[in-house]
Amino acid sequence: MFFVCPGDWLLVLIWDCQILAPLLEIRNAMSVEGSLIEISPEEQLLINRLELLNANSGSHSPSTATIQEAIPELNVNIDACFLSNPLATDLFWSYFNTDAPQNSQSFKRMIEAYPSQNRVVAEKLSSMVGVEPRSIFVSNGATEAIQAVVQNFSSHVHINVPTFSPYYEFAGSEHRVTRFQLDPTENFVVDPQRYVDSVLKSGADTAVLISPNNPDGYLIPDSELNWILSKLSDLSTVIVDESFIHFASRDTVDSSYAGVDSALPTLVGITEQFENVTVIKSMSKDFGIAGIRAGYAIMNPSRVDRLLDHGYLWNISGIAEYFFSLFNRSIFLHEYRDILNTYLKYIEHFTSMTSRINFLQAYPTDANFQLIQMPLGVSSDVFTSLMLIRHGIYVRSCKDKIGLDGEFLRVAIRTEPENVEITDALSDVLGSTGHI
């Protein structure tokens, strides 16, 4: 008989058949402060298989394709783990399906031939971004940009925690990493003075700010960000990751921060104010195209030159190049803005629904995801497994997040019908604990 205990797995084997016999019909259960999540033997086996997949994925979640291949009994109906704008995926797909049949030979060459070199693609982005092409480093997703900057321009990285793990994972053995702990009791707010003091005290040559931050969704106000950057102007490198900035509520956007198209919020203008600042952009989140692997960074032109001289000449695919070419179509950006406005309403409605679920601590967010703390005694790993097993909904346990002490989920916000399913499932699984 297996008993699943909060925090740890405890296996109790009862050898006495006289004791075992009456217990054969008792279901596996997770103790939750006097209440129970009942787990059938079949569910326990699936939980164990999911745990193994997660363990083999390091600090990142296994893809939906990996889960479906490894555990075909499970159906991933809603991917609320990986972060993207689902409406934007449909937008890109509509353009691709229109263009591909009309330009079949061009699309064949897209697959057969090398893509354009990095600088050529940067030219395509320049007018939309509002900076000179020589300041644009095009990357195979934002993750490659992070890796390139950290490994080429940093020796000592200072980061907030919790945060996106590649910022410390890509720091090799020759790098030093120090941390600034964010406080969940203060909704993970970055106190400007405390943060600056922490960076300067650490002696780091590189500081990292993600705004809105992953996994908590906190947005540093523009005025505070500007002040922080002014105080860190002597550092070699300051990385500002704006992967989720399109989803942020910024009532007053500093015009000096905005690109040419201010309808698409951005912070790229700060690279002109502060020469040591690199702004990193992820297309996966904004435009829902994680599988294409497209991103870019804005930085000092000399740094772009150095990266291109060290192996990043043909680092994106032909399909990624096609995606970036859409930025030269004003109608595409206007349509994106329209669906973004719709999606922002979905985000607002989702957070209002989670706020009404008893015994869940759902943190305020300026991103397209929400961090949720489990009730005392409820394992986030088990909870996420049951969300998938019972409802086909894939959410992320934050058990492995450095600097996040406790049991937390991160839930990606989806379309309106999917969001209703997600909140219903959260309530259902939580209800089986006896909390609601």
pLDDT of residue 37: 72
pLDDT in tens, 245-290: 999 976 544 444 444 444 556 777 888 889 999 999 998 888 999 8
pTM: 0.85
Location of each CATH 3.90.1150.10 domain in the chain: 40-83+338-431
115-328 maps to which CATH number? 3.40.640.10
- The set of residues, in sequence order, having a beta carbon less than 8 Å from that of 50 and lying 6+ positions away, is 67, 71, 385, 388
C-beta of residue 403 within 8 angstroms of C-beta of residue 1: no
Q: Can you give the pLDDT at residue 35?
A: 40
CA gap 379, 399 in Å, rounded: 9
The whole-angstrom separation of Cα 325 and Cα 96 is 11
Q: List where CATH 3.40.640.10 sits in the chain.
A: 115-328
Contact 167, 159 (CB under 8 A): yes
> How does strand 206-210 pair with strand 277-282?
unpaired
Amino acid, res. 4? V
Q: What is the pLDDT along the chain (436 residues), one digit of tens a residue?
A: 333 444 433 333 333 334 333 333 333 444 434 345 778 899 999 999 999 998 887 667 888 899 999 999 999 999 999 999 999 999 999 999 898 877 788 788 888 888 889 999 998 888 878 889 999 999 999 999 999 999 999 999 999 999 998 888 887 778 899 999 999 999 999 999 999 999 999 999 999 999 999 999 999 998 999 999 999 999 999 999 999 999 997 654 444 444 444 455 677 788 888 999 999 999 888 899 988 899 999 999 999 999 999 888 888 888 999 999 998 888 998 999 999 999 999 999 999 999 998 878 999 999 999 999 998 888 999 999 999 999 999 999 999 899 999 999 999 999 999 999 999 999 999 886 655 5
- The candidate with the shortest Cα–Cα distance to 411, out of 390, 434, 377, 388, is 388
How many other CB atoms sit within 10 Å of the CB of residue 298?
29
pLDDT value at position 17? 38
The Cα–Cα gap between 405 and 402 comes to 8
In this structure, is the dihedral angle defined by the CA atoms of residues 387, 389, 390 and 394, taken in order, positive or negative? Answer: positive
In this predicted structure, what is the pLDDT of residue 18? 40
DSSP 55-108: HTTTTSPPPHHHHHHH-TT----EE-SS---HHHHHHHHHHHHHHHHHTHHHHH
**pLDDT for the residue 265:** 64
299, 146 Cβ separation under 8 angstroms? no
Return the CATH number of the domain spanning residue range 40-83+338-431.
3.90.1150.10
pLDDT digits (tens, 9 = 90+) for 65-109: 999 999 999 999 999 999 999 999 999 999 998 988 777 887 888
For the beta carbon of residue 25, count every other beta carbon within 10 angstroms. 6
Residue 394, helix vs strand vs coil: strand
